[in-house]
Amino acid sequence: MQEYIQKRVLDICAYILETQATVRQAANVFNVSKSTVHKDMTERLPSLNKELARQVKMILDYNKAERHLRGGEATRRKYKDLA
């Protein structure tokens, strides 16, 4: 793996661990696609640091479990503002 990719993977990992960010939020901060963040966290990070990968996986799994609730809340706010 190239050095700049390793640095990006570890930087994104640190950001997600600090902020509990979603894949989409991390992608926006680092100006990469959601697919890149997902691949970095699920495929590349485990080869660099298994413990960090485990911690990030727990956050990403939590965010995935909560996303239907967040979407519902966003829709509720949208239509409340229109009324």
Predicted confidence at residue 83, as pLDDT, reads: 66
Distance CA 68, CA 78 (A): 15
Segments of the chain scoring below 50 in pLDDT:
none
What is the reported pLDDT for 72?
A: 76
Give the tokens for residue 63: 């965010």
- pLDDT at site 77: 81
| Residue 61 to residue 73: CA distance in whole angstroms | 19
